[in-house]
Structure 1
């Protein structure tokens, strides 16, 4: 007879105190830590905020900013004299800038007719006629909005950035797939790169490459590289070992095994990695308008700066169509489901016929003097959009303004006051305590170091303001995401309706979400938070839905047979058994909210994002870099705390 085992209370999966599967003691402990923070805030105010109970001392931060400004000035003065720049960064900058100009000139030479025909033919060949129509509609939007030249500039930037990202990312991914040691070494670097908000990438590359297209290409390539490396490594590692061993036993060299077995068998997965890299490049190229990238992103940036929602909408529509078209084309290359079925003996003639059509069209257009789409044939929809915004403001402006003011005064301002007005050392202690409670000793150490570094950088009030905005938006995002995810798991019809909507939302560059938020709520933190909530919702809904649907049916049937109600089934079985998906939903939701809240500086959200933008605009490199590093620290803290405790090994 097997010996009876004493039940472990930490393995209990029921009760409202354990919706995410965490031990029951964690939530009371977290509430006690937060209560101590609140008590410290009121005690500090009651004592008149003595020096030892105030915000982080700013002397060190001011000294660091001054040193960073001096370093930036030295680089600017010695950019054309230092060997590091003369024979290093300047060569890279000139090469990348020339590549963007060359690709842009090629697109210009092809004329709008040739580019459109080539794009439609490529879309049809790799993805079928439906995607070809999407590509045609995309080029039509470029032309009719009068943004053809800006669209070609953006396309040239994306092509150059993706080529640079894949030139380094694919070999690194192959190496990581074949070498376990290299994979372990590069994995934390990739994890770190993928949790960084896009804004945090801008300043370091401006330092070495200046303002303009070269810096935009480098930052976009670096931002787009991690998924290419990670997915390529995964694809190579998952190739059937039997096939590799069989090829090796026949005397094949490692190079032959790679080129004739691993890469061909991993092709489709690698192409999906390329798709992800392209989509990240589309997002980052738009954000890089802040550092002089030009193109459609600059059109949105300038329109938002003038609070011209109509012009921003036009450029945003062009970016949305570009993102959708590139996603559909590159995604179809990855799975190959929609590729036209052409017999092998006809493929070369079809390719030759397509090239002949393109050459004929381009030659005819050049002879007729056709170049870019004539601006006088464009349709300006900015006035109707601005008129609609004015009408909406007259009808619902008071309501949205009241809602925004209520959110600001009742939620955001008190939370910001709590974080900025509490003793800095108490905030650090509570952050470390929360890290230990939810994720263990290592997360506590990371949390403590992250907050101390934020203070030393001299941007403590701005960082606490950013953290308050992130927490507010994250709570709303997770509440909505869990509710909608649970409903979707209960209804196949709702899940089917939501799928294309969520797909489209995850395709859009984050910059675009700011446009409707500004139209409805004006400028300030509130539209930034609204945009952050909408931007972060799709992955949260997906993960909650997938997690609940992944609960074994036998477990559900057993719970039903014991008389569990639907609410009991959800709270005592489904949510606890979906712990991994729920934790990932929390983690992804909060990280995405952070990236969007920081970007909200472009619409008046202030805080750390404003430090980055203001530092770039006014050549205050110290402030910009300090703000960017503080964003990184907040990202590390939020990422580590929301990863949860690792389950102990049996």
Structure 2
């Protein structure tokens, strides 16, 4: 059998084996219990020992975690005092406000002024309008609670990522050691973070902050290392020639030179922190995340969408500000003179803060946006979904039934009917073909981990849901990416839609989907496709735009039609980027599948969620690592495939 016929032949053999499922022994379909290891009990016992008995000599691990929580709680409480609570005396109804928090006018103007400083007046007006939206639609207090968390989580994530990234840049050995840890941090589902953090730090906003930092830090680490390695060697050599010490070279030369790229990392930390706020609300974060989660529990689509749009407004404002500051970071500051002359806007904002604080004692609407002026879209969204259900129920139900009957269930039955040794062998063979012995060994080891964990059936269900969702997302995203790359107007419209989909928190997708299609695999697939669509579109468009125009012109001169230019030149040249987009789509799909456990799936995500509700640390961590194992297998196989595609096209072997 030639290499070209190998995989079609294996696919045909897989279909035959699935058809013979009734004749197979039970041990071939599911790993026998003798192969299972009680990993959950081991992890739970280790966590109990860690919390109750482990000690560093002078203090225990429990005392260390409580001390760390206290260190984080102090700045968080300070941020809440500034943005939400003010300085009060007493508790509950007897509490008396001595110093109010920053007024809604002061915060809105301050953020708008920051936008003017970062770029121009238009950005300032846009950011100010988004914060005004939060006040007008009654989301101000929840938004400020969320912003207080972001204000603390982002600096911790940035500083931690910066330190680890610099250490990885200085020590290749440390980089090799921390790379698998970062892989786990990025691929273990977010729910799985919450179980051990809840165990170590208890319930409350501090534990939620730590979960947010762990989730958001890895991109900063990787971007820091990459940015420092991308600095031209001449700059480093020049710093040595003028006599800089290692610390001076890092602080005064390398980090300033890498600052624009580092600001991109800051942007990623901000966006991931905002994406985590709803999940973190399950262990006491509060704010907009709690509002969305509460609305989902009550199936209150109006309240859920309104709170979700508030998170989107906050995310867009912070995203645009951080992007603008990233561009400005590389520009010299032309202002001269004293601090007062160099910072007139800062002085104006401070004066406004003081003025609104004092005048708010006389006119309360200057301090707190008046209830009488608030608007609400809750009824609109609820009525919209109700109207769709009433008028289009038959069509929606027919579509749901069709997809379940002819796409989802056949794929699920096929994967669950395959013998597990056959699946392990196929994955290992794919690793061998794409990366030889090292990748094959990794695929084999991670596949056997799923066997030993006793979660093979749940893992195959996860593969089925993720696989179908990714295929649908790619089939939709690929033509959208082609359209965005070929038409500037369409590119702007599609880019705006994709931006919105990326900034909407993951839980928000579940509310309208459940209201329209009820719980089940179809609802989960729909939510996953919407959430994971963006990379398929973005990477396709980016890859097509990056194709050298000389190649396109050469094809046109040779008489190629536009369709031939697209299918025979642009798409093949863009294939490595498209594969990386598929890779990112898989990562997002796996992270979203854990959240869709709330709508009735029966996969690894459900195992993680059940462990969280029972505070079962061992089961949660093991199920989370199983999801990470699937993610790492997919990531390594696709990255190796992209590297081979680049090599075939003469673009180098790096993915």
TM bracket, shorter-chain basis: 0.7 to 0.9
Aligned 8 A contact 2:308 2:504 in 1? no
1:492-507 → structure 2 map (5 Å cutoff): 492-507=488-503
**Secondary structure of the corresponding residue to residue 236 of structure 1:** helix
How has the CA–CA distance of structure 1 residues 491 and 236 changed in structure 2, closer, same or farther, with 3 Å as cutoff? same
Distance 1:252 1:340 in 2: 22
Aligned counterpart, 1:594: 590
Aligned 8 A contact 1:126 1:339 in 2? no
Question: TM-score by structure 1 length?
Answer: 0.87
Aligned 8 A contact 1:489 1:495 in 2? yes
Distance 1:551 1:114 in 2: 48
Pairing 1:36–2:28 present:
no
Aligned counterpart, 2:270: 278
Pairing 1:97–2:73 present:
yes
1:304-315 → structure 2 map (5 Å cutoff): 304-315=296-307
Pairing 1:457–2:453 present:
yes
Shift of 1:392: 0.6
Aligned 8 A contact 1:583 1:644 in 2? no
Tell me: higher relative CO, structure 1 or 2? Use CA pairs within 8 A at least 6 residues apart.
Answer: 1
Find the partner of 1:546 among 522, 542, 552.
Answer: 542
**Secondary structure of the corresponding residue to residue 644 of structure 1:** helix
Find the partner of 2:345 among 342, 346, 350.
Answer: 350
How has the CA–CA distance of structure 1 residues 612 and 240 changed in structure 2, closer, same or farther, with 3 Å as cutoff? same
Number of aligned residue pairs:
625
Distance 2:607 2:238 in 1: 58
Find the partner of 1:477 among 473, 477, 482.
Answer: 473
Aligned 8 A contact 1:178 1:237 in 2? no
Deviations 1:417-467 (A, max 9, x none): 222233222222222233334454333322222222122222222221111
Aligned 8 A contact 2:227 2:258 in 1? yes
Find the partner of 1:624 among 617, 620, 629.
Answer: 620
Aligned 8 A contact 1:407 1:526 in 2? yes
Aligned counterpart, 2:88: none
Aligned counterpart, 1:53: 28
Aligned 8 A contact 2:184 2:625 in 1? no
How has the CA–CA distance of structure 1 residues 26 and 637 changed in structure 2, closer, same or farther, with 3 Å as cutoff? farther
Deviations 1:219-253 (A, max 9, x none): 21122112222222233333343333233222222
Aligned counterpart, 1:17: none
Aligned counterpart, 1:20: none
Aligned counterpart, 1:607: 603
CA-atom RMSD, angstroms?
Answer: 3.1
Distance 1:141 1:25 in 2: 62
Distance 1:68 1:513 in 2: 33
Distance 2:548 2:116 in 1: 41
Q: Please list every run of 5 or more consecutive structure 1 residues that lacks an aligned counterpart in the other structure.
A: 1-23
Distance 1:448 1:376 in 2: 63
Aligned counterpart, 1:148: 140
Aligned 8 A contact 1:536 1:589 in 2? yes
**Secondary structure of the corresponding residue to residue 236 of structure 2:** helix
**Secondary structure of the corresponding residue to residue 149 of structure 2:** helix
1:128-527 → structure 2 map (5 Å cutoff): 128-336=120-328, 344-345=336-337, 346-366=341-361, 372-373=368-369, 378-527=374-523
Distance 2:281 2:540 in 1: 35
Q: Please list every run of 5 or more consecutive structure 2 residues that lacks an aligned counterpart in the other structure.
A: 85-100
Aligned counterpart, 1:569: 565
Aligned 8 A contact 1:54 1:421 in 2? yes
Aligned 8 A contact 2:134 2:140 in 1? yes
**Secondary structure of the corresponding residue to residue 217 of structure 2:** helix
Distance 1:366 1:443 in 2: 67
Find the partner of 1:65 among 16, 40, 46.
Answer: 40
Aligned counterpart, 1:19: none
How has the CA–CA distance of structure 1 residues 459 and 172 changed in structure 2, closer, same or farther, with 3 Å as cutoff? same
**Secondary structure of the corresponding residue to residue 30 of structure 2:** coil
